[in-house]
Amino acid sequence: MKLGFIGLGGMGRPMVEHLLAAGHELVVWSRRPEAADPLLALGARRVSNPGELAAASEMVCTNVTGNADVVGLAGQILEGLAPQGVHIDFSTIAPSVARDIAVHYAACDRHFVDAPVSGGTAGAQAATLSIMWGGNAELAKRLDPIFSCLGKTIVRIGEAGAGQVAKACNQLIMVAAIEASAEAARLARAAGVDFARVRAAMLGGSAGSRVLDFFGGKMAEREFAAGVEARLHHKDFVMVMAEATRMGVPLLVGGMVMQQLDALMAAGWGTQDTSRLFGVLEKTAANPSLI
């Protein structure tokens, strides 16, 4: 297939590599031209703007940061995309924004599919992402050759916007589990016990999880280099809480985690890993007046 891809960061670049390896033709565009350079050697072709990219593609894929980025690109992509063309957005955005874009596309005889992913950069590199998508069910056969190159778990959640609802639920559980892991690490340390050993024991029991394994491992080793930058989880949580407020759904644990993420950002740790929530608890312990 002739595909366009916009967003060539830690997630997007390996996704493009997998699509190229599967034999698809790729045109790419990035706000930072140098981000595309390694992909050109693999056979991708660079274009000068999103509209040109869309005009050269059967389907366009985007993987960018947030609502404003996707909305800004959607207008340019729509100008170049042929009738019945498909825009697949792998970004994490608000469900309401995804629905609005889909309605606008449908009025122009184009398709918008929200397909946020979970699995981080490691999942993107290994092509084991979980892809949760929302859109017209009749698109499944057209989407499968793309999704099967990128992920291991592919689930259509429902109509447009439903994929983003699933991603909001994913982020709610995952970041809450990171906070719980940080609290366990803080409790172990306060008791004078080695959290690395506590974690090893818990991984074999009912508390074992991928979050405890990965993020808990970073806490045990005090290695806070970003897998996914904490600012992105903060951005996601702002959207989760806004959607919940709009619908009148109380998220009690989510509200507490939101405050911890706010404290993490205030400490200047937004470009570090979300396991830095452990540091927020340490700061609070050192200065109880912060509570």
What angle in degrees, to the nearest 10, is found between the helix axes of 277-286 and 252-266?
80
Long-range contacts of 193-199 (CB under 8 A, 24+ apart): 195/219, 195/220, 196/220, 196/221
β pairing state of 86-89 and 111-114: parallel
- Among residues 53, 103, 104, which one has the least CA distance to residue 82? 53
Catalytic residue among 2, 152, 167, 235: 167
**H-run or E-run covering 40:** helix 37-40
> Rg (Cα) of the chain, in Å, rounded?
20
CA distances from 176 to 23, 259, 270 (A): 39, 11, 17
CB 15 within 8 A of CB 150: yes
| CB burial readout 185-221, b (16+ within 10 A) else e | bbebbeeeeebeebbeebeeeebebebbebbbbbbbe
**Which stretches does DSSP call E strand in the chain?**
2-6, 25-29, 45-46, 59-62, 86-89, 111-114, 117-118, 129-134, 151-158
Three-state DSSP class for 106?
A: helix
Active site residue 167: yes
Tokens 């069910």 correspond to 137
The sign of the CA dihedral 175, 177, 181, 184 is: positive
Q: Which residues, in sequence order, are CB contacts of 100 under 8 Å at separation 6+?
A: none
Active site residues: 167
